[in-house]
Amino acid sequence: MIQGEIPMPLPPGPQFDPNLFFMSDWGAPVLVMIVGLSLVAATVILWPLMRAFGRRIESKGTDQAVRAELEQLQHRLNDVDVLQQRVAELEERIDFTERMLARGQSPAALRGDSP
């Protein structure tokens, strides 16, 4: 014979009789209340989700307009970058001119002509 432990049977748990729920005097009102509360809970949970989904569906047509506006703004931003570079070059030229004028050199000396 094989020796080993014999598994112990589980103790019986509480039995649920579904017929008891419908045969009692208060079974039908409780069932209606459970169904009603379930519907209310589903509505509370799903209402914001459905509104967000509806807004997303409505905004599908405006995505093209938003993208076009975004591309236009990016183009304008690139133009601003080019203008900033030009302004920086002009500032350097003005600074150079101011330094030369402050030194008081003659125009011939600026050109490199010998006096």
The whole-number pLDDT of residue 95 equals 93
State the pTM of this model.
Answer: 0.36
The whole-number pLDDT of residue 24 equals 59
Contact of 110 with 100, CB cutoff 8 Å: yes
| Nearest to 96, CA basis, from 114, 82, 105, 84 | 105
**pLDDT tens-place string over residues 25-44:** 666 777 788 999 999 999 99
Q: Which helix (H) or strand (E) holds 25?
A: none
Residue 89 in tokens: 């070059």
The whole-number pLDDT of residue 94 equals 94
**pLDDT tens-place string over residues 48-77:** 999 999 888 877 766 677 788 889 999 999
The whole-number pLDDT of residue 18 equals 67
